[in-house]
Every structure is written in structure tokens, then in C-alpha cells.
Amino acid sequence: MKFVDVKEVFAEIPDEITLAISISGCPIQCKGCHSQYLWEDVGQELTPEVLSTLLDQHFGVSCICFMGGDQDPAGINLLARWVKANSKVKVAWYSGRGKLATQIELPNFDYLKLGPYDEAAGALNMRTTNQRFYQVADDLHLEDITHRFWKL
């Protein structure tokens, strides 16, 4: 699994300073995607060693968000497990899948976004969106907090 870029962002995960890691090789390729450059399998290999370096370089982030990685959910799960075991930051995954991949172990995550981008339904910040954003609750159920992205 490879990544193309990283950015410190403030809008992807509510109340978190997030290091968003853009993963390439997207198999979903949604119509109207704003990140078509991630469709190709390009970039640098994403490993625990690379994650450690990224965390050192981005001191102060409170969350890591894997943006993509649907071609290898088991790999995302392993990276999330590593982050949980080796840092104090929260872990999120933006997946274009409609359902949570069976390889994902909820204790490794704090947040999950599920659903492909649907141009007609709009992005996560639209009330009409088909995408859902969840917080993993203490009892490991998914609490839908999509409404936190909606404008009043």
C-alpha cells in the first residue's frame, strides 16, 4: 500500500488536528471524485516505520486519518493497530466502501467514514449525503455522527 501525500487538516475529523494520509490505488474510483490522482498505484510504501517518522514530523496532531486504502483493508487494520500500540493519537479511516470491511477490527479505530462519493447525494457536509461518519463508541458500536459535518 502506497501513499502520495500527507496534510495537517482540521475539517476531516471533528475536534481533532488530523494528519490525513492520502493512499493511492483506489479501486472504487467514484464519478466526480476530487482526488482522481489517487486512482493510480503510485507513491511511497506506507509502513509502520514511515508512520513513526510522520508522527515525529507532525508533532501535535491528535489523530491520523487514512484517506483510502480500500484495496487492502487488512493492511489498513494492521497500520491502525500499530498506531494504537505506539502512540497516543486517535485513528480514523475514510473508506469508499458501503459496508465496513470484515478485516477491520473496531478496537483499532476511533472514527470511520463509509460510503462511496455520490455526486447527486453530495459530500459528507451535505444533509443529502449517502456517506456516513461514525465514532467508535467505548462498547465498540458505531455511533453515527455525520450530522456534525452539516451546516446549521
Question: What pLDDT score does 115 carry?
Answer: 94
**What does 95-118 look like in DSSP terms, one character per residue?**
---SS--TT--GGG-SEEEES---
- Sequence-distant (≥ 6) Cβ neighbours of residue 5 within 8 angstroms: 21, 22, 43
CA distance 128 to 115: 13
> Mind listing the pLDDT tens digit of every residue in the chain (152 residues)?
999 999 999 999 999 999 999 999 988 777 777 787 887 889 999 999 999 999 999 999 999 999 999 999 999 999 999 999 999 999 999 999 999 999 999 999 999 999 998 999 998 999 999 999 999 998 889 999 999 999 86
Nearest to 117 by CA among 11, 49, 57, 35: 35
CB 23 within 8 A of CB 2: yes
CA distance 58 to 11: 17
Question: What pLDDT score does 27 carry?
Answer: 81
Question: What pLDDT score does 32 carry?
Answer: 76
CB 29 within 8 A of CB 39: yes
Q: For residue 41, what are the CA distances in angstroms to 4, 24, 32, 150?
A: 9, 5, 19, 33
Question: What pLDDT score does 37 carry?
Answer: 85
What's the CA angle centered on 74, arms 19 and 92, to 5 degrees? Answer: 25
CA distance 131 to 37: 21
